[in-house]
Amino acid sequence: MIERLATGERAVIVQLDFGCGAMTEELEEVRLLAESAGALVCAEVYGRRHSPDAATYAGKGKVQEVAAEVTAHEADLVIFNHELSPAQERNIERVLQCRVIDRTSLILDIFAQRAQSSEGKLQVELAQLDHLATRLIRGWTHLERQKGGIGLRGPGETQLETDRRLLGKRVKVLKERLIRLERQRSVQRRARGRGDVLNVSLVGYTNAGKSTLFNALTHAGAYAANQLFATLDTTSRKLWLGEAGNIVISDTVGFIRNLPHELVAAFHATLEATAQADLLLHVVDSASPARDDQVAEVDKVLTEIGASEVRQVVVLNKQDLTGLSPAVERDEYGRITRVRLSAKCGGGLPLLREALTEIALEKLRNPRAQSMDSDTSFNPNITLDSGLSL
């Protein structure tokens, strides 16, 4: 087993193309992920394959190419922007003689660094333990088989089973704590529902500007930065809308392509609150060349957590980078579907407040009506006036 270094990691990134054709965007994203985790990216290795190699994922020749980059740059970490099996990680480490992690491990590490609330820390730890459970044997490769000789019979299985039992107990404790926290949130949601308060959740791809928009609307001072997963813990604030009264708006964790299943499961309680919202503000980075794929990834996660039927208003953010003027778009029924703005510069924020006021008044006038339906969900086939298609 390779010794894990705590700091000072110089990383080599590996990206393979299996015919999806989005290598440039994926390379940029994994580079940002690595930098967000604190790694110094010193080299990138990419290539094409028809299918992953069963033993080393990238194939013997490509692994040798990675080994050359590791030696040339004195790297101590190799990041595969793919999901590796425990056996593949072990085989690659034997060749490279340095630490190897996959995309899931990288994202889990970022989440572990960013979690601030007690609930967020519990959720991240649960996700890490679920991921570790499939790799537990790697820490005991010298004991995983019984060998002949005095002192070498039996302890391997005993140690592994002991680790599994301890891990299982810890997972059970974490799940019980999260269940108690979810009950508390359910009580709070019911209280808001009785008061006919519009419950709004900000959702979107990571680094789309959700936290910047949240701060611009509520003056909450939540942490916002130009990095992936800058905000992890859900934050809720009241927003006064004049005649519509108060609404509750929540900033949630950003989504990303190939979001680890362990994270979706661990954060299910938090993400479930999104499914209970009256309205989703789907924040889109309109200046990103990969915005179509990002929108699709967010919609996929929303479907997975049961929030696909919640009404969406798409917020096309970063209009200052596209040169488009702020605007509100409506469907054929006159209901608001999109708002173009710049959360950083403030252009279009009054339009968003007016849109929220209009929707909040709808809820006040007819709180039992099912006006928040899927008919107003974002349609990726609609073309903007500027000719940009999202």
Q: Is 105 annotated as a binding residue?
A: no
Q: Residue 254 annotated as binding? A: yes
Ligand-binding annotation for 111, yes or no, is no
Residue appearing with tokens 């980075």? 285
Q: What is the largest CA-CA distance in the chain?
A: 82
CA 213, 215, 218 angle in degrees (round to 5)?
A: 105
Cα angle 375, 380, 382; round to 5: 85
Is 364 assigned a ligand-binding role in the annotation?
A: no
Q: Determine whether the annotation assigns residue 385 to a binding site.
A: no
Say if residue 159 carries a ligand binding annotation: no
**Residue 317 annotated as part of some ligand binding site:** yes
Q: Is 238 annotated as a binding residue?
A: no
Was 251 annotated as part of a binding site? yes
Cα 301 to Cα 307: distance, rounded to the nearest angstrom: 8
Q: Is 231 annotated as a binding residue?
A: yes
209 in a labelled binding site: yes
> Does the annotation place 207 within a ligand binding site?
yes
Is 55 labeled as ligand-binding?
no
Q: Determine whether 276 is exposed, middle or buried from the number of CB atoms within 10 Å of its CB (0-12, 13-18, 19+).
A: middle
Distance CA 365, CA 305 (A): 29
Q: Is 91 annotated as a binding residue?
A: no
Which residues are registered as beta bridge partners of 318? none
Report yes or no: 208 and 251 within 8 Å, Cβ to Cβ: no
Asked if residue 292 belongs to a known ligand binding site, the reply is no
**CA atoms of 230 and 254, how far apart (whole Å):** 9
**Cβ partners under 8 Å of residue 251, min gap 6:** 202, 210, 211, 214, 220, 222, 231, 234, 235, 236
Residue 248 among known ligand-binding residues: no
Q: Is 210 labeled as ligand-binding?
A: yes
Q: State yes or no: 206 annotated in a binding site.
A: yes
- Is residue 288 part of an annotated ligand binding site? no
299 known ligand binder: no
Residues belonging to the binding site are 204-211, 229-233, 251-254, 317-320, 342-344
Binding site for GTP, residues? 204-211, 229-233, 251-254, 317-320, 342-344
Residues contributing to the annotated binding site for Mg(2+): 211, 231
